[in-house]
Structure 1
Amino acid sequence: MIAYCTNVHPAPDLAGILAQLDRYAVRVREALEADTLALGLWLPALVARGLAEDGTARQHFRAELASRGLTVSTLNAFPYGDFHDEVVKHAVYFPTWTDPRRLQYTVDCAAVLADLLPDSASYGSISTLPLAWREPWTGRDDDRAAEALTELTLSLRAETRRHGRPIRLAVEPEPGCVLDTVSDAVEWLAGRVDPDHIGICLDTCHLAVSFADPAETVASIRRAGLDVVKVQASAALEVAEPGTPEGRRAVAEYSEPRYLHQVRENAPGGVLAADDLPEAFETLPAEHPWRVHFHVPLHAVPPAPLTSTTDVLVAAVAAVDPGTHVEVETYTWTVLPGAGDLADGIAAELRWATQHLRTGVVA
């Protein structure tokens, strides 16, 4: 099964999470005519803390999920707090991996996930941010982040001993961050972390924005002795001729104030960067193709002259090991121009993913 990520749903507490699942996830499962639906669950930090401290609450939550036909093998622990403020932008990168709150949140998520795993799951995965936004960041910050991941590994090992199945952290490279590309993440992680417990989250929108080759990227992760622990199945926005009036007008429709939409231009001399769409319009030459960090629905072709990078997604999933967790993560539905009914859209994405991605992947 392929999961869908619930960070698209704003929910400040456990009751709110269950209400959102009733409103959307159950409808998605019914639309797919499936007995069960896999979730990539997002828990705000306060919710994760409460569940981690209360084993009875965890068992009750597991029962609530089961009664709705929902299963959880992976958590998205990138956003820490409210992911649906009017303006999120750089706030999503806080707290960083130098902040003890990030470590505690992830430890809490591991404790929760261990009790939510279905009997069929061979492991659990938790995706996390690529340390921090790129600035300010120092060598001392490198050391502090490595220390935090070492401490986390002790907790992950303990969960593995208690439950018999590993909980693994998946570090998610993102444009503009300390670990901007997969190659940055591989270089930073290799030799610093225990690869049995920490690896890569391959977000295929981020991968596409970097203009990296999917198959070679996965091969480079393996060569470094790391694993792709989780794939976030996502597609970036692409415009072949951003300098034309038509191209500029089309991509401008996706400029909005809530989320950061990093832009990369594939120039012959190297990839050029802008941290958000408004900046891209001002600073990039717009003489070569752009890819934009805007997660667009997998099944829906953007209006011409725009396209999406689902080809990168398909190639990346084909390259990873069978059994790797795959989570559809289109958190941008609420800011998507012309978005329709959310449950219908998520169901359509999951149908597309089932039809187009290699069989054998699991959530």
Structure 2
Amino acid sequence: MISYCTNVHPAEDLDGIRAQLARYAEPVRRRLGAGTLGVGLWLAAEVAAHLARDQAELARLRAELDDRGLAVRTLNAFPYRGFHDPVVKHRVYRPRWTEAGRLAYTLDCAEVLAGLLPDGAGGSISTLPLGWREPWSDTDDTAARHHLDRLATGLRRLEQRSGRRVRVAVEPEPGCVLDTVADALGWLKGTDPDYLGLCLDTCHLAVSFADAAETVRAIRAASVDIVKIQASAALHVDDPGDRQVRAELARYAEPRYLHQVRERAADGALTAADDLPEALAELPGDGPWRVHFHVPVHWEARGALRPTTDVLRTVLAEVEGPLPHVEVETYTWTVLPGPPADLAEGIAAELAFTQDLIDQRGCA
């Protein structure tokens, strides 16, 4: 079962979460004609803490999910709070894994997920790649390792107490301490593989210009589990030096989220910019760009811009055996240029498209 990530909705209290289930999630399920729809919940820190400590409230939420034909097998615990504030940018990486607040939040999310999981199912939680790359010191690295070790201990105790295994998936992202999948594989050595693994976000992978098939093989060779795949697409443009193309790209330079950019030279070397306005002002535009802007995975090319959906297609095809949790994560619907979309219709179309890609695995 695939899920869609509810961080697209600006709900940061229980009433808002219930409203989004009624307004979006259940209508999406009906549009798809599905008996059950997977939802990857995002819970702001205060909501997660409340539900983790109020089992009666948690039971009521699970009952409502059941009544609406919705199932939760994964949570997104990357944003902490305020994910739909007017300006988010670098604040999405706070608190870092150096801070006790990040550990407490993630353990709260695990407690909630254990209470929401369908009987007999395991769960996954995606988390940030330690923090933004600067400032970061050896002392920070030691603190992050300490907190993730404590996280694994807490998840083991949760399983012993509840019978539910919840695993946390570290999600590499351009510009962060764990910028690439290779960075994450190196850092995950020595952590507890029963409870910690990798979240492979296909937008982030595309921005890094990594070969998707080789990346999946490298993960397999490292004996690190892909605990979760976030099905997402970046923007690709072949000729960012063209004036008209730059005008098209500028429409995506919105103020809420950070949109990291990578330019690839003819020799394969990458030049980086931390946001799209910076890229438009400073990068030479001599080679193709990939932009960290989660665009709908089912989009066709729009002028000179196209989504990197082929990266998602390759990852799904290369993963051997049963897929891990797959969560469609397009949180940018409300900041896309152009007229507002019918959000439920757009989410349903993305889910149907992604399910088709999954159904096509091994059919080529």
Give the Cα–Cα distance (whole angstroms) in 2 for the partners of residues 278 and 310 of structure 1.
Answer: 24
Judge which range, 235-244 or 299-308, deviates more: 299-308
Which residue of structure 2 lines up, in the alignment, with residue 127 of structure 1?
A: 126
* 1:317 corresponds to 2:316: yes
Equivalent residue, structure 2, for 1:94? 94
1:178: how far off? 0.3
Which runs of no fewer than 5 residues in structure 2 stay unpaired? none
- The residue type paired with residue 87 of structure 2 is V
| Alignment partner, residue 272 of structure 1 | 271
Q: Flag as ranges the 4+ runs of structure 1 deviating above 2 A.
A: 162-165, 357-360
Give the distance between the partners of 2:106 and 2:152, measured in 1 at CA: 11
Q: How does 1:137-286 map to 2 (within 5 A)?
A: 137-191=136-190, 193-269=191-267, 270-286=269-285
Structure 1 stretches of 5 or more lacking a match? Answer: none
The 2-side partners of 1:215 and 1:229 are apart by 17
Equivalent residue letter for 2:56: T
* TM value normalised by structure 1: 0.96
Deviations 1:136-165 (A, max 9, x none): 000000000000000000111112222333
The answer to whether residue 8 in structure 2 is matched with residue 4 in structure 1 is no
Percent sequence identity over matched residues? 62
Measure, in 2, the Cα distance between the counterparts of 1:358 and 1:318.
10
* Alignment partners' CA distance in 1, 2:59 and 2:4: 22
CA-to-aligned-CA distance 1:116-143 (integer Å, 9 cap, x gap): 111252x200000000000000000000
Deviation at 1:359, TM superposition (A): 6.3
Aligned-pair RMSD on alpha carbons? Answer: 1.2
Q: Distance in 2 between matches of 1:241 and 1:120?
A: 50
Instruction: Provide TM-score, normalisation by structure 2.
Output: 0.96
CA contact (8 A) 2:126 2:171 kept: yes
Q: What are the Cα deviations for residues 221-256 of structure 1, in whole angstroms up to 9, with x where unaligned?
A: 222221110000000001100001121111111110
1:50-109 deviation line (CA, Å, top 9, x unaligned): 011111111111001111111000000000001000000000000000110000000000
Residues 190 and 225 of structure 1 are in contact (CA less than 8 Å); yes or no, is this contact kept in structure 2? Answer: no
Residues 1:61 and 2:83 aligned together: no
Distance 1:147 1:265 in 2: 35
Counterpart in the other structure of 1:334: 334
Whether the 8 Å CA contact 1:52–1:108 is kept in 2: the answer is yes
Match of 1:289 in 2: 288
Name the SS for the 2:332 alignment partner.
helix
SS in 1 for 2:159: helix
CA distance in 1, matches of 2:213, 2:277: 32
Separation in 1, partners of 2:266, 2:84: 37
